[in-house]
Structure 1
Amino acid sequence: MAVVAAIATACAAAVLPPVTAQARSAPGAASTVRVSTTSDGTQADGLSDGASISADGQYVAFWSAAPNLGADHFRALLIKDLASGQVTRVPGARTYGGSYTAISADGRYVGYASGTRYPSAYVYDRLTGRSSEASRSELSSVDSLSADGRFAAVTVGNRNPSRPAQLRVRDLVDGTDEQIDPQQTPTGHPSVGNGSLSGDGRLLAFATGPRSGAYDIFVKDRTSGAVQQVDVPLDGVQDEKRSSLVAISRDGRYVLFQSESANLVPGTTGPGLHSYLRDLRTGSTVRLAPAGVTAAAVSGDGRKVLLSEDGRLSLLDVCTGDRAEVGPAARALPGSVTGSGEAVAFTSESAVLVPGDTNAVADVFVHRPPR
């Protein structure tokens, strides 16, 4: 109850967009559709995962090991148009085990990592059918895209585990890179990565840390250069507990993250990993759920948060505290919730979500909660 009360108080203080009377008067039943099918609706003959969904809810990008979706010895990258059912394969995209996908607001651009051994980062333009390098570095990946697909946050790893990761923002229009300097942060940890861009590309949330151990979360204003900490301790004393970034909301106001630190919100915080939502405008942080409930994604307006508990996904309304069931035996990526939280893309091994699911492998689904 304390968590729900805190959420409601934070929602009121933050003035999150209210549920309108029109929205309340137009209820609709929940629905789940399977995305990982061929264009004619045939179920995939191999597993699929790694899904992200466009802000408008029309396009889903995902990886598949299914031969009838174009996979061979490597997984194929697909884009599904949920309006027409058409499936498009991203040419040349291949990987052994899949990777993150990032998709622009209108579904035109998809960011991914491709390679048969050491993958590199690319961005695919669905309209032109061409992919552009977002990084020539090995072990690089696209963490997120700006809403228009112009900017890509790219983490660059290293085959030498003793060397720290790097984070860059690639401007795909003029071909320039902005290197994120971890020394700009108060903690000055050498490793930086897991970049999450706001919709306009101005704000970049990222994680820093040593090569192993504690991490902290920051947001950089790429226009002013200002950097602020997200996992801010109430007493001002940094601890050695680990924090991990999930994502910044598309509107750039909220940052979803997880932390083992016990001094981020007023009151008693028990041991374990907790999920938090930071309002950058008011400087307030709210704990979303008890320990053991992890956060997976946040809607573009910051109002809906996707939570995972015991392998089940649910969508939390930050204003009301209500949680709507999404799916069992499920997992999801940071880019899996639409702009206003009206749809969620996820992976599940469950065979009972849609009729006729007999392929006995993980599939990608889109769930639309009741309205």
Structure 2
Amino acid sequence: MRASLTDAEGEANDESYDIAINGTGQTIAFTSDANNLVSGDTNGFADVFVRLQDSGATLRVSVATGGAQANSSSQTPDLSADGRFVVFESGATNFSASDNDAFWDIYWHDRQTGATELISVSTAGVKGNADSRRASVSDDGEVVVFWSNANNLVANDTNNAPDIFVHFLSSGETRRVSVATGGAQANAFSQNPEVSANGSFVVFESDASNLVAADDNLRKDVFRHNLLTGETVLVSRASDGTIGNGNSALPAVSAEGRYIAFESLATNLVAPDQNGTTRDIFRRDMLLDVTILVSIASDGSAGNENSEYAAISADGRLVAFHSDSTTFIVGHTNLCEEIYLRDLQANTLSLISHGTGGTVANGCSYLPEISDDGHFLTFESDASNLVANDNNGLNDVFRHENALLELARAVYLPLVTRP
């Protein structure tokens, strides 16, 4: 079904993208350039919206505490498990009294109280002095991670590179997490973090070579930082411990931090890597130290084009991604990106971005997200034949129900002792 709609099921009059889905799959957040999704949208900027699938209501959440609309663009949301809390980035200056510059900042919005809070601040409450981007929030809404170019969020930030930070809502503490186990700051860029649902682990990508010992591959790697112990470990390595020989990026983490999915150009993470230099999706089991290739057909054959942007279910069993490979589904004729779902327990690969009855999409589909139990997936697509009456000719947000998976919900409790 399509999610980027008005309360009256009307179509958006501009592009919708940047999706997040809550734990149950009933709340979907997204960015849209449309000005007709809610009444009174007159700011002329991209906004963040929430679609409540149960009621069909669409709400704008990139607003100030009193409800005033943003005076600049807002985008890239994430949701708590129950959908109550929304984090996003914004260039607006009217959400916080301390925001008097043009930098992108991270905000946290409580849909129950209507409060909007500035998150990209130091423990003392000082606003970041540069852009902060790509927020991710724990299931309980208490732990928010993001990357930032600011050098005033923590003391002794002198590396002149983007870092990963975590902000704890209850205490107001902000820490830098793109550090080595001993606390040494990274010697290069770190970006694109995601926090585990239980708030214990942060995964991210980094060009730094000093976060772990013997990181000598001169490539971007994926790391996991333990918020409880301070340990940082390298994720993008083969089962025998060999570090990937190509760039690895955009990690996604399971609820308790055990499984991490990521994309990589490395050819030595599994043997044999059948498709050479094509970007693939991998999953690392941090408990067993096992890395497997995810982006393969049900019969085990490799893709012939890039597979990117992994999303993972809470238990790590399901991994979604987009790919323009033509070898995953026999007879598949769409030469554009599609959404695929790999079930690592059943060892199957399913095409998700299709219309009712299996109709092949007539456009491209990107950037999947998956609910905690894997029962629902969301993605964006410019295809016009995935649902009936799609006549706007624009990129829309869709939700797909994974009917092959038995519905089984889980609750994950935070393991981090809140400071």
Shorter-normalised TM range:
0.7 to 0.9
The amino acid of 1:337's aligned partner reads I
The amino acid of 1:350's aligned partner reads A
Indicate yes or no: 2:149 matched with 1:157.
Answer: yes
Question: In structure 2, what is the equivalent of residue 11 of structure 1?
Answer: none
Larger displacement relative to structure 2 (181-190 or 227-236) = 181-190
Q: 2:236 aligns with which of 231, 234, 242?
A: 231
Larger displacement relative to structure 2 (268-277 or 77-86) = 268-277
Q: 2:54 aligns with which of 67, 83, 88?
A: 83
Offset at residue 193 of structure 1 (A): 2.4
Contact kept? 2:236, 2:244, Cα under 8 Å: no
Partners of 1:305 and 1:95 in 2: CA distance:
37
The amino acid of 1:317's aligned partner reads D
Considering fraction of residues, name the structure with more helix: 1
Indicate yes or no: 2:54 matched with 1:56.
Answer: no
Question: In structure 2, what is the equivalent of residue 358 of structure 1?
Answer: 391
Offset at residue 305 of structure 1 (A): 1.0
Question: In structure 1, what is the equivalent of residue 123 of structure 2?
Answer: none
Partners of 1:217 and 1:189 in 2: CA distance:
15
Report the secondary structure of 1:339's partner residue.
coil
Question: In structure 2, what is the equivalent of residue 296 of structure 1?
Answer: 310
User: 1:26-65 residue pairs with structure 2 within 5 A?
Assistant: 33-65=1-33
Provide TM-score, normalisation by structure 1.
Answer: 0.83
Structure 2 residue ranges without an equivalent (≥5): 93-101, 121-126, 152-158, 210-217, 296-301, 325-336, 354-360, 405-419
Contact kept? 1:183, 1:190, Cα under 8 Å: no
Indicate yes or no: 2:223 matched with 1:218.
Answer: yes
Q: 2:338 aligns with which of 301, 312, 319?
A: 312
Q: Which has the higher contact order (CA 8 A, sep 6+)?
A: 1
Return closer, same or farther for 1:365/1:94 CA change in 2, 3 Å cut-off: farther
Partners of 2:381 and 2:391 in 1: CA distance:
13
Question: In structure 1, what is the equivalent of residue 365 of structure 2?
Answer: 330
Indicate yes or no: 2:113 matched with 1:128.
Answer: yes
Report the secondary structure of 2:11's partner residue.
coil
Report the secondary structure of 2:199's partner residue.
coil
Larger displacement relative to structure 2 (355-364 or 282-291) = 282-291
Question: In structure 1, what is the equivalent of residue 79 of structure 2?
Answer: 103
Return closer, same or farther for 1:167/1:268 CA change in 2, 3 Å cut-off: closer
Return closer, same or farther for 1:316/1:268 CA change in 2, 3 Å cut-off: closer
Provide, for residues 195-221 of structure 1, a one-character-per-residue CA deviation record: whole Å limited to 9, x for no partner: 21111111111211159x721111111
Provide, for residues 57-88 of structure 1, a one-character-per-residue CA deviation record: whole Å limited to 9, x for no partner: 11001111111123642012111110001111
Question: In structure 2, what is the equivalent of residue 253 of structure 1?
Answer: 258
Question: In structure 2, what is the equivalent of residue 6 of structure 1?
Answer: none
Provide, for residues 134-190 of structure 1, a one-character-per-residue CA deviation record: whole Å limited to 9, x for no partner: 10323212431111000001110369xx94101111001111101124344899543
Indicate yes or no: 2:168 matched with 1:182.
Answer: no
Partners of 1:109 and 1:43 in 2: CA distance:
25
The amino acid of 1:353's aligned partner reads L
The amino acid of 2:117's aligned partner reads S
Return closer, same or farther for 1:133/1:362 CA change in 2, 3 Å cut-off: same
Contact kept? 1:295, 1:305, Cα under 8 Å: no
Offset at residue 245 of structure 1 (A): 2.9
Q: Percent identical across equivalent pairs?
A: 26
The amino acid of 2:14's aligned partner reads G
Question: In structure 2, what is the equivalent of residue 140 of structure 1?
Answer: 132
- How many residue pairs were aligned? 334
Report the secondary structure of 2:370's partner residue.
coil
Return closer, same or farther for 1:316/1:156 CA change in 2, 3 Å cut-off: same
Structure 1 residue ranges without an equivalent (≥5): 1-32
Contact kept? 1:134, 1:154, Cα under 8 Å: no
Contact kept? 2:181, 2:230, Cα under 8 Å: no
The amino acid of 2:341's aligned partner reads L
Report the secondary structure of 2:352's partner residue.
strand
Provide TM-score, normalisation by structure 2.
Answer: 0.74
Report the secondary structure of 2:76's partner residue.
coil
Return closer, same or farther for 1:230/1:95 CA change in 2, 3 Å cut-off: farther
Return closer, same or farther for 1:71/1:230 CA change in 2, 3 Å cut-off: farther
Offset at residue 98 of structure 1 (A): 5.6
Partners of 1:151 and 1:35 in 2: CA distance:
27
Indicate yes or no: 2:259 matched with 1:274.
Answer: no
The amino acid of 2:5's aligned partner reads T
Larger displacement relative to structure 2 (248-257 or 260-269) = 260-269
Provide, for residues 92-132 of structure 1, a one-character-per-residue CA deviation record: whole Å limited to 9, x for no partner: 47587763211111101111001155310011111011111
Q: 2:45 aligns with which of 74, 83, 97?
A: 74
